[in-house]
């Protein structure tokens, strides 16, 4: 089945530093990946849609200069949180899109928990 690998699973960094999170589709090609953010006891908040070979599409209110997304190949998308601050601490999850009988079925990575000190 489709597998999405995401790492690191957790990271602690100092305020002002940048952190990169990788998302890989292991056994399929993903032209479209999605990056979500999840706060405790809340649902998934879509941050951006990552398209291979083109610029990411960001949701309203998400700072594209803060959350840099690169989708350079059909199997890899990265999210870089630049100049991280404590309010960026969250659970970040990537997903790859697979079409099944017209349904946009998302396969998720295991998530990355970011803590900014």
Partner 1 sequence: QKEVEQDPGPLSVPEGAIVSLNCTYSNSAFQYFMWYRQYSRKGPELLMYTYSSGNKEDGRFTAQVDKSSKYISLFIRDSQPSDSATYLCAIHSGGYQKVTFGTGTKLQVIP
Residues at the contact surface with partner 1, assessed by CB under 8 A: 4, 6, 32, 34, 41-44, 46, 49, 91, 93, 95, 97, 99-111, 113
Nearer to partner 1, 83 or 105 (CB): 105
Cβ distance to partner 1 smaller for residue 28 or 91: 91
Which among 46, 45, 99, 34 is positioned nearest to 71, based on CA atoms?
34
Is the Cβ of residue 7 or residue 82 nearer to partner 1 in the bound state?
A: 7
Lookup: tokens for 116: 């900014």
Q: How many CA atoms lie within 13 A of 105 on its CB side?
A: 11
From the CB of 102, what's the least distance to partner 1, in Å? Answer: 5
Q: Name the residue with tokens 């017209």.
A: 102
Q: Cβ closer to partner 1: 64 or 83? A: 64
Smallest distance from the beta carbon of 83 to partner 1, in angstroms? 26
How many Å apart are CA 21 and CA 113, to the nearest integer?
10
């Amino acid at each position: 089945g489709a597998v999405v690998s995401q790492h690191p699973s957790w990271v602690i960094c100092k305020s002002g530093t940048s952190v990169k999170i990788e998302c890989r589709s292991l056994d399929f090609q993903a032209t479209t990946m999605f990056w979500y953010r999840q706060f405790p006891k809340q649902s998934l908040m879509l941050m951006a849609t990552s398209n291979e070979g083109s610029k990411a599409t960001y949701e309203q209110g998400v700072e594209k200069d803060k959350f840099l997304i690169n989708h350079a190949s059909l199997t890899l998308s990265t999210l870089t949180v630049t100049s991280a601050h404590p309010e960026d601490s969250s659970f970040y999850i990537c997903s790859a899109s697979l079409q099944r009988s017209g349904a946009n079925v998302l396969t998720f990575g295991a998530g990355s928990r970011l803590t900014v000190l």
